[in-house]
Structure 1
Amino acid sequence: MRVRPISAEVLVEELADQLICREPDSYLRVALDGAPAARPEALADALVGPLRARGRPTVRIDTADFLRPASLRLEFGRDNPDSFYLGWFDEAGLAREVLDPAGPGGSGRVLTRLWDATADRAVRAPYQDLPPRAILLVSGPLLLGGGLAFDVTVHLEMSAAALARRTPAETAWTLPAYERYADEVAPASFADVVVRVDDPRHPAMVLERS
């Protein structure tokens, strides 16, 4: 593997420059994929300002707002890694309410939040009309390989040891799901951009995989 160490600040600026060059006359659906320990939501949040400064309206989506109801998520227990891997996130809802409307021929009307996991009920949020040339930043784990329609994919990769070290004890039960994701989906093998974040404070761009 060949990598280029990079500061977190430069990473954001370089990604912003890459994104504004893609599909300049349409909506751009961007996945920022990574386990919570990799902090994909922090990278997505950090990109909003630079993208807007470059003239691209930007909308943030987090898959934590697209969970399935608790009766489905927790059917086999609160700490079942197979259920987490296969059935926690409402991918159909994300496609229906966000990715398809922002895709070719879509309406351009999206719902940025679908489910309130705390209250375990649908969020009564209004639909939002996307401005022309808007960039949608969708952050969360396990985003790739399931057929979701993204135009650009960014994967935040961690070694198994780093992931275990940086995952809180109360969510360590999810680690087998991420191991399965790495083995079965291998997102680092096909994502458009791969960033090594064993220490999120010191990322490294993956330039070439062995």
Structure 2
Amino acid sequence: MRYEAITWERLAGTLAGHLDAATPGDGGPWLKVAIDGPPAAPGGELAGLLAEALRARGRAVHVAGTGGFLRPASLRYEYGKRDPDAYYDGWTDIGALWREVFTPLEPGGTGRVLPDLWDPATDRATRSPYVTLPPGGVLLLHGPFLLGHWFPFDLTVHLRLSAAALARRTEESWTLPAFARYETEVDPVSTADAVVRADDPRHPAWTGLGGGG
């Protein structure tokens, strides 16, 4: 796989141009984008830059992170606070993402999406008001383990860190087996539409669109 050096700003502009020219398919009048990567990767930052680039083109955008859709602590920590398997497939409320984010953006949907559901700091519902994304708008969802759930994404971008870089930059080292499992079971480098190498966040490189899968 070949990578080309790029800046985050130019990457965001390139992705925005691609999305602005894209026509929503059978998934309804909204485009849905995944920015997949571990917390050690700048997924939220890229989502913010991409949102700015899209808004500059006149597109409505809603940015959401899986960190706002965690399950209650009683469920996340059922097998302890440092169980990598629970972190991998039990921390994020996948059902809530389908119900509150993706279903409203299906054909004939209302476009009313919930920005977040659960505050892990208080372990309480956020009670955030719904946001209406107009037809033609773009959903940007960022977070780890986004691929492999059959979410109806129109574009998937995976931020890749080598095993050494991931270990070096991950604060919660107990989560590392979860990312190794993701690489084995989902193979995001082959699955994603584009892969961004982010070992050094100051000098990203990417495969270009269509370079992942």
TM-score bucket (shorter structure): over 0.9
Q: Secondary structure at the match of 1:38?
A: coil
Once the 2 structures are TM-superposed, how far is the Cα of residue 200 of structure 1 from its aligned partner? 1.6
- 2:56 is aligned to 53
TM superposition score normalised by structure 1? 0.94
Q: Is the 8 A contact 1:33 1:139 kept in 2?
A: yes
Q: Is the 8 A contact 1:100 1:149 kept in 2?
A: no
The one-letter amino acid paired with 1:86 is: D
The 1-side partners of 2:98 and 2:21 are apart by 24
Asked if 1:31 is matched to 2:34, the reply is: yes
Q: Secondary structure at the match of 1:100?
A: helix
- 1:94 is aligned to 97
More RCO (CA 8 Å, sep 6+): 1
Once the 2 structures are TM-superposed, how far is the Cα of residue 176 of structure 1 from its aligned partner? 0.5
Q: Secondary structure at the match of 1:173?
A: helix
RMSD between superposed Cα atoms in Å: 1.6
Q: Is the 8 A contact 1:95 1:149 kept in 2?
A: no
Q: Percent identity?
A: 54
Once the 2 structures are TM-superposed, how far is the Cα of residue 117 of structure 1 from its aligned partner? 1.1
TM superposition score normalised by structure 2? 0.93
Asked if 1:82 is matched to 2:85, the reply is: yes
Q: Which moved more, 1:18-27 or 1:149-158?
A: 18-27
Asked if 1:182 is matched to 2:183, the reply is: yes
Question: What do the CA deviations read for 1:118-140 (whole angstroms, capped 9, x no partner)?
Answer: 11111211212212311111010
The 1-side partners of 2:131 and 2:141 are apart by 15
Asked if 1:6 is matched to 2:6, the reply is: yes
Unaligned runs of 5+ in 2: none
The 2-side partners of 1:42 and 1:106 are apart by 29
Question: What do the CA deviations read for 1:35-56 (whole angstroms, capped 9, x no partner)?
Answer: 0111111100111111100110
The 2-side partners of 1:105 and 1:174 are apart by 39
Q: Is the 8 A contact 1:6 1:204 kept in 2?
A: yes
Unaligned runs of 5+ in 1: none
The one-letter amino acid paired with 1:197 is: A
The one-letter amino acid paired with 1:152 is: L
Runs of 4+ in 1 over 3 A off after TM superposition: none
Asked if 1:196 is matched to 2:197, the reply is: yes
The 1-side partners of 2:78 and 2:191 are apart by 32
The 1-side partners of 2:7 and 2:197 are apart by 12
Q: Is the 8 A contact 1:28 1:136 kept in 2?
A: yes
Once the 2 structures are TM-superposed, how far is the Cα of residue 149 of structure 1 from its aligned partner? 2.1
Asked if 1:107 is matched to 2:92, the reply is: no
